[in-house]
Structure 1
């Protein structure tokens, strides 16, 4: 209930006297437990719920860190399981009877799992080293523990509320005493009135006795009026002090609200950071993995695979048909130390000077003969794409290796 300055009436119970005393006093004996007014912020001691928010927020930070540390373990276990699955099936796939584009498609599932394993391992590290450390650091900077327990912030708020509420609580206590005294005097007058009524219609009671009863009733009425006047005066003092009390309490409450706003704002950003790390649907690396896998699957060609089999294991294979061969005398053995060394190197489609290319996506080499690079990085393409979709390139530092052809674009 709001108290508005300047609206108080004088005399008998005015507008402010409509404030029920059960709402004003913390010492009521006849209020029921379900009375919501007893839970009002304005009642003495009920500010403790607001003060406890500091301890609750500190504990919430601990729970958030523990929660997402457990999620990090899930991510790490998933990464390990993906890697173990790929390692288990790689020799089976490599030695399978499949061949050509169909074999490359099956192998691509395993390489995709390896790349996803790296991604989920990085998610695990982000949840622990970035998000967890960020919450812990903010928690340490925001909550200052006292030597004998509790937090300095909650102690300051507790002190502020207690200082603002102390005069109000004293007035409520005084008002409660005045109310009890008034109700007691009213009950006494009511009992005196009943005795007078009973005596007035009873001929067995002497006139002197009836007069005495009347005098007692009149004394009880005067006492009630006197106590009532004191009760009204105390109520006026309480009503008059209410605006100042509300102003001081709201001042401390606003400080609590500002601290809570900062906590909510920080935790919102922390949750958004966690969401960004967990949301693999918008991760370019994941898109690249499944895009490459889809491209490999769409590249399965019945004609190419059948042609490869025909040329390598079928009628398309070259053969040395029988023909007449002349006899040639055997060559003389050369002496030791004079043997010629002949080195045959396979032909490679080497590009003179190379072509400058730019990486479209991040790539982490899975083998020692593969290049690793970040999206946007530039280097030289030194050999054309082979039939499995790999090119050879050389980085500015002289590092040379293979990389997926569809991960780069030629710089115009």
Structure 2
């Protein structure tokens, strides 16, 4: 139990004290304030959720705008892949920030709303049951104390009034003594008035001291009852603070992208893609695709062979095993099958999607290429069924 409030101190501070009648209302009002705080928290982070959603939309719009431009840019190889990775990373971040928006609204917002509904019980005519219970408890504990304080204030006022009256009587008596202009009878009357005032002051003082003693004696009980209700209010406030702390931590976890594994993966992949930019590989690709490394049909001796019926849509192919007329592609180009293909003629290759082999002749005007499988078998195949490795 606390000690009685100090007797000395600024008067205004004393009037603001929790122990003074009615000042417990500030504690009671915490319930309504907490309810409003929940509304403010939900509104605050709903607005943040809109910011996250708008940011996600802007990232997506930025990606859609630049993707065709980047894909059609003159960059190539690892440098092009690095630029494209910025766009794919933005797409993934857009999805992440959209999920943050959903978390702030559907998880954190709903959590606060649910707790608010379960914690605060509105009354039909306004206010909350919890604040009314505390108000009733404080008022019941303070009522006897307030009555005693009122009685004490009345006794103090009476004492001070009597003291002032006595003080005036003493001053009149002092002024009358030794004054030849005031008759002896008058001086005696003034003296009697002073004595009566003094007796009245002593009588009122005794009453004042008695009431003060009663108040002082009742103070421990009053403080104990008030602190009991206050402790209940503090416990409810502790629960509110604890819940809102967890709510804020949940919001922090959703907003803190620095610890989000998905974000780390996005930027790690982007960093690795940037670090994989290799000028030697890019220059080699350019050399083999647009430079001296390109396959070329070098002049070769051609035997004359009788004409035969040509297959529609294919280059002329000789089936004689002795010598074949063909263009030579120096070194060949490694290609990978995009689709399955079953040769329709003996001079056509068959392969599965994903198989790799060499392209040894460029595409003709009918869309056919000549290739050689790893086992050495050569044949024709549709050019659009493969891609360069």
TM-score, L = length of structure 1: 0.75
Matched, 1:219 2:189: no
Whole-Å Cα distance in 2 between the matches of residues 327 and 274 of structure 1?
82
Does residue 1:198 correspond to 2:175, yes or no?
A: yes
Q: 1:348 aligns with which of 350, 354, 359?
A: 354
Q: Does the Cα contact within 8 Å between 1:3 and 1:239 map onto a contact in 2?
A: no
Give deviations 1:339-375, integer Å, cap 9, x for gaps. x58786565159xxxxxxxxxxxxxxxxxxxxxxxxx
Match of 1:19 in 2: 7
1:295 aligns with 2:297: no
Query: Of residues 168, 180, 185 in structure 1, which corresponds to 2:157?
Result: 180
Residue by residue over 1:85-136, the C-alpha shift from the partner in whole angstroms, topping out at 9 and shown as x without a partner, is 1111000000000001110011000000000111111000000000000000
Q: Which has the larger radius of gyration?
A: 2
Question: Is structure 2 residue 19 aligned with structure 1 residue 42?
Answer: yes
Which residue does 2:98 correspond to in 1? 121
Tell me the distance in 1 between the aligned counterparts of 2:269 and 2:3.
70
1:329 counterpart residue number = 307
Tell me what 1:251 maps to.
228
Structure 1 SS opposite 2:264: helix
Who is 2:145 aligned against?
168
What is the distance in 2 between the residues matched to 1:111 and 1:136? 37
Is the 1:165–1:249 Cα contact (8 Å) retained in structure 2? Answer: yes
CA separation of 1:173 and 1:95: change in aligned 2, threshold 3 A = same
Partner of 2:166: 189
1:38-117 to 2 correspondence within 5 Å? 38-117=15-94
For the Cα contact (< 8 Å) 1:44–1:165, is it kept in 2? yes
Instruction: Report if the CA contact (8 A) 1:116-1:286 is conserved.
Output: yes
Which ranges of structure 1 fall in alignment gaps of 5 or more residues? 5-15, 24-30, 335-339, 351-412
How far the C-alpha of 1:238 sits from its partner, in A, is 0.3
1:174 positional shift: 0.5
Confirm or deny that 1:304 pairs with 2:310. no
Once the two structures are TM-superposed, the CA of residue 319 in structure 1 deviates from its matched residue by: 1.0
* Cα distance between partner residues in 2 of 1:117 and 1:346: 38
**Structure 2 alignment gaps of length 5 or more:** 313-343, 357-389
Shift of 1:328: 4.7
Tell me, in whole angstroms, the C-alpha distance in 2 between the residues paired with 1:99 and 1:65: 49
Which whole-Å CA distance do the structure 2 matches of 1:348 and 1:213 have between them? 129
Aligned-partner SS, 2:21? coil
Deviates more, 1:268-277 or 1:321-330: 321-330
Q: Are the aligned partners of 1:143 and 1:153 in contact in 2 as well (CA < 8 Å)?
A: yes
Please list the CA deviations of residues 153-191 of structure 1 after superposition, one character each: whole Å capped at 9, or x if unmatched.
000000000000000001000000000000000000010
Partner of 2:117: 140
In structure 2, what is the Cα distance between the partners aligned to 1:53 and 1:286?
Answer: 40
- What SS does the aligned partner of 2:43 have? helix
Alignment correspondent of 1:390 = none
Query: Partners of 2:31 and 2:212 in 1: how far apart?
Result: 35
- Over 2 Å off, 4+ runs: 1-4, 322-328, 340-347
- TM-score (norm: length of structure 2): 0.79
Provide the C-alpha distance between the structure 2 equivalents of 1:96 and 1:346, rounded to a whole number of angstroms.
Answer: 32
Distance 1:171 1:328 in 2: 134
Tell me, in whole angstroms, the C-alpha distance in 1 between the residues paired with 2:31 and 2:133: 11
CA root-mean-square deviation: 2.2
Q: CA deviation at 1:323?
A: 2.7
3-state SS of the aligned residue for 2:158? helix
How far 1:47 moved relative to its partner? 0.4
What residue number does 2:337 align with? Answer: none
String of CA shifts for 1:136-155, please: whole Å, max 9, x gaps: 00000000000000000000
